[in-house]
Structure 1
Amino acid sequence: MAEERREFPSLQRIYDLQVREDDDWQMVQKQGNQFVVNDQPFYVNGFNTYWLMVFAADQSTRGKVSELFHQASSAGLTVCRTWAFNDGQWRALQTSPSVYDEEVFKALDFVISEAKKYKIRLILSLTNNWDAYGGKAQYVKWGKAAGLNLTSDDEFFSHTTLKSYYKAHVKTVLNRVNTFTNLTYKNDPTIFAWELMNEPRCTSDPSGDTLQSWIQEMAVYVKSIDAKHLVEIGLEGFYGPSAPDRAKFNPNSYATQVGTDFIRNHQTLGVDFASVHIYADSWISQTISDAHLQFTKSWMEAHIEDAEKYLRMPVLFTEFGVSAKDTGYNTSFRDTLISSVYKTLLNSTKKGGSGAGSLLWQLFPDGTDYMNDGYAIVLSKSPSTSNIISLHSTRIATFNSLCSTKCKWGCKKKTPLEEFLYHDDL
């Protein structure tokens, strides 16, 4: 009995720590142009791995989900963006409108429960502009199968029936009760934000009115079901007709004609923060050059400025990377590009600016090379890149822990860590 009594206090302390840790696992919120958790700033260093649900749906690959989260967590990464959709394709989540494969839904449950174990929050995207994993083209196919007279995939944004299909999917996902945690998705702080669509474009209406109307309708609809979580659109960041003076920052003239409008789209009720993608190697040239670095810096700075001046919200660079398939590619250039992105963000962070973080495209565990689109980073095989990521994670975590909203965000605390946080060695 004496031994049991001696052990009991230590067990109690462990329990208290666990309770405290769970108490700290609160929803991410927005305060002005920054994210906050428990009244502390939450600047983000994160990554994308879009196929987690599909891998979790197969017991032979499910372990890769845990492996990835473990590696990401070890590098200090705190947010992962992944798909909460697979429309009518192989391993489909939604096999037809409002019809779901329960085993695949359980796989998404698993992804969310594993993310929490590793203290990684998720941005969950709800459908795709592109054909991969179904997306708007699959919704149009479903509509045609139901007898609708549809002539363009862009009717996804305007046809009442197709919009009702999408809304039904949103409602089903947000109200899902996780079979591993018993938490309803809309109440789960593991979910950082909902993304309306991956890279929406409506090229049939360059004015942007069609997409703007869809964003307005869907952002409010998501909030009507789930007022707790943050919502973002999923945009690439192209400037449209409402901001002709900003078009000079676009990578090419075509970018102004795809029906998106960065500033106007993000001034929509229900949208909490801005998203931007960075793909100089897709948009400018597939041959590696310093022009990629110059574009990346000006692209980021323009959007951070917009988020501060016009939007008054945080901006996340939710996809960025460089493909190993590009002419002239080497890992040294990749490291330089990643460092450049991180440096630009730190310059915003130390001034209390809107640059809230970035998400690499994309992180892979070992043994998944067959999924590689050229952008995959395997941390265990990329020591120099891994070191850059880990250093930035440490800087961000240090800043998040040092500062609070009471500092009015732009706090310039003179501490021995200041040089470590902001030293210009990137």
Structure 2
Amino acid sequence: MMGQSSFVKVKDGHFERDGKPYYYVGTNFWYGAILGSEGQGGDRKRLCKELDFMKKKGIDNLRILVGSDGEHGVAAKVEPTLQKAPGVYNDTILAGLDYLLYQMKKRDMVAVLYLNNSWEWSGGYSFYLQHAGAGKAPQPSIDGYPAFMNFVSRFADNQKAHQLFYDYVKFILGRTNRYTGIRYVEDPAIMSWQIGNEPRAFSKEAIPGFVKWLGETSSLIRTLDKNHLISIGSEGSWGCENDMEVYRQICADKNIDYCNVHLWPYNWGWARKDHLLDDLQASCKHTQDYINDHLQVCKELGKPLVMEEFGYPRDGFAFTKSSTTRARDGYYKFVFKLVADNAEQGGLFAGCNFWGWGGFANPRHEQWTVGDDYTGDPSQEQQGLNSVFASDKSTLSVVKEQVKRMKKLRL
């Protein structure tokens, strides 16, 4: 039976769906559209198995990459790509996205679809800059992240690159799903259009252009689509050059319906590789402070908050599915409690999407290679490091308890 639920909306600072409060536990499933395709990387049998498993566990909100950009054969780049060159699309991946949304709709699950990426693993900023004539983008794995970040900082003020992206936005939002016959802009299986994955200015000097670009993008999306929520995909102040005022400014945009934060204790230097369990308490303290600061902004703006990325490495910084997850489970418990406690008290914390879903994948190499299973870890990261696999019973037990708490709030 095709799901008949209505669009997720925001009313008085809280999500609503079908006239009821909408609180959720979700995950990141960035590779969903590729898995839904029938070409390279596609596996519809696995896709349906993953969706069934997640739905059974109460994980019904999936944050998904619309598509990767650029040529094949680039180190640390997700393949296959959707947009090979500006305006040149891989219809196999478009069919995969259609099929994914069709299957999610049948299971009454919703998608947060992000359209861009500031990082190298799916193109985004660097792809548009290259095609706008800014030169060849450095590869972080070869040239280092400082060189890459310096290059992509030019995106904020590159009008030609912006226009190429706007053309892409118009194309995606203008599509009709070939399996359901439903126009994307009229499909309740989509919860939110998200401008990008962790969009950043990458320099203080680029902030004005960055803010302007985000505003122009949200306005364009709203012009094209009156039904869906719009979000930024921001990490929070960490993605705003550590300036909370910039975060407040971009979230205050009238077309932005809710706020996002991401949390990465290891990546941000709060937890050390060889002391993940020892550093858990400090990581939790930093996390609480970070969340409180951003909740204050949400309170000022009257908008919900979603923690849509957070992760903690497997014990011993191991990558194998058989490795333990004591530290990660402890971190998840802490984060989930922050969300649920605030929501139960009528606060603005509405949901969370843990990073990321590995499900039934069986990684073959530490670094992703074409032909390997997709995991929650993109191609530039060690496969298995932050993934939650279907075999991770202790982590899924923690998730189950959070699902119970959040579902009670939907009544």
Q: Is the 8 A contact 2:156 2:206 kept in 1?
A: no
Amino acid at match of 1:39: G
Question: Is residue 262 of structure 1 aligned with residue 247 of structure 2?
Answer: yes
Tell me, what secondary structure is at the counterpart of 1:66? helix
Tell me, what secondary structure is at the counterpart of 1:235? coil
Amino acid at match of 1:208: I
Tell me, what secondary structure is at the counterpart of 2:295? helix
The more displaced of 284-293 and 336-345 is 284-293
What is the percentage of aligned positions where both structures have the same residue? 22
Change in Cα spacing, 1:238 to 1:325, as seen in structure 2 (3 Å) is: farther
Counting matched residue pairs gives: 362
**CA displacement 1:392-414 (0-9 Å, x = unmatched):** 1122112202xxxxxxxxxxxxx
The match for 2:308 is 318
Amino acid at match of 1:88: G
Q: Is the 8 A contact 1:174 1:186 kept in 2?
A: yes
Q: Is the 8 A contact 2:32 2:100 kept in 1?
A: yes
Alignment of 1:71-82 (within 5 A): 71-82=53-64
User: Hey, which of these two has a bigger chunk of helix by percent?
Assistant: 1
The match for 1:376 is 387
Tell me, what secondary structure is at the counterpart of 2:153? helix
The match for 1:418 is none
How far residue 240 of structure 1 moved from its aligned partner, in angstroms, is 8.6
The more displaced of 294-303 and 183-192 is 294-303
The match for 1:413 is none
* Counterpart among 90, 96, 114 of residue 125 in structure 1: 114
TM-score w.r.t. the length of structure 1 is 0.80
* Counterpart among 274, 295, 315 of residue 304 in structure 1: 295
1:274, 1:314 → 2: CA distance?
A: 6
1:225, 1:117 → 2: CA distance?
A: 25
* Counterpart among 269, 278, 295 of residue 284 in structure 1: 269
Q: Is the 8 A contact 2:66 2:113 kept in 1?
A: yes
The match for 2:43 is 61
Alignment of 1:5-24 (within 5 A): 22-23=3-4
* Counterpart among 133, 142, 151 of residue 144 in structure 1: 133
Change in Cα spacing, 1:145 to 1:62, as seen in structure 2 (3 Å) is: farther
The more displaced of 79-88 and 204-213 is 204-213
* Counterpart among 31, 39, 62 of residue 19 in structure 2: 39
Question: Is residue 388 of structure 1 aligned with residue 398 of structure 2?
Answer: yes
**CA displacement 1:195-227 (0-9 Å, x = unmatched):** 101101112335721211111111111100001
1:42, 1:361 → 2: CA distance?
A: 21
Amino acid at match of 2:222: K
The match for 2:105 is 116
1:260, 1:282 → 2: CA distance?
A: 23
1:144, 1:303 → 2: CA distance?
A: 37
Change in Cα spacing, 1:41 to 1:53, as seen in structure 2 (3 Å) is: same
Q: Is the 8 A contact 1:206 1:256 kept in 2?
A: no
How far residue 236 of structure 1 moved from its aligned partner, in angstroms, is 0.3
1:331, 1:325 → 2: CA distance?
A: 5
1:174, 1:368 → 2: CA distance?
A: 34
TM-score w.r.t. the length of structure 2 is 0.82
Q: Is the 8 A contact 1:362 1:377 kept in 2?
A: yes
- Large movers: runs of 4+ above 4 Å: 325-330
1:321, 1:64 → 2: CA distance?
A: 24
Question: Is residue 361 of structure 1 aligned with residue 355 of structure 2?
Answer: yes
Question: Is residue 342 of structure 1 aligned with residue 332 of structure 2?
Answer: no
Tell me, what secondary structure is at the counterpart of 2:266? helix
- For the aligned residue pairs, the C-alpha RMSD in angstroms reads 2.4
Tell me, what secondary structure is at the counterpart of 2:410? helix
Amino acid at match of 1:277: H
The match for 1:293 is 284
Amino acid at match of 1:51: Y
2:201, 2:19 → 1: CA distance?
A: 38
Tell me, what secondary structure is at the counterpart of 1:400? coil
**CA displacement 1:124-177 (0-9 Å, x = unmatched):** 000110111111101111112899xxx943332222221111111111111111
Q: Is the 8 A contact 1:124 1:193 kept in 2?
A: yes
Q: Is the 8 A contact 1:301 1:344 kept in 2?
A: no
Tell me, what secondary structure is at the counterpart of 1:236? coil
**CA displacement 1:80-110 (0-9 Å, x = unmatched):** 0010021114322111111211111101111
Alignment of 1:157-306 (within 5 A): 157-206=156-205, 208-238=207-237, 255-256=241-242, 261-287=246-272, 288=276, 289=279, 290-306=281-297
Tell me, what secondary structure is at the counterpart of 2:403? helix
Change in Cα spacing, 1:294 to 1:184, as seen in structure 2 (3 Å) is: same
1:227, 1:22 → 2: CA distance?
A: 21
Alignment of 1:394-413 (within 5 A): 394-401=404-411
1:146, 1:385 → 2: CA distance?
A: 44
1:168, 1:207 → 2: CA distance?
A: 23
1:43, 1:343 → 2: CA distance?
A: 14
How far residue 260 of structure 1 moved from its aligned partner, in angstroms, is 8.6
The match for 1:86 is 68
The more displaced of 267-276 and 383-392 is 383-392
Q: Is the 8 A contact 1:239 1:263 kept in 2?
A: no
**CA displacement 1:378-425 (0-9 Å, x = unmatched):** 13x111211121121122112202xxxxxxxxxxxxxxxxxxxxxxxx
Q: Is the 8 A contact 2:200 2:239 kept in 1?
A: no
The match for 1:99 is 88
Amino acid at match of 2:242: T
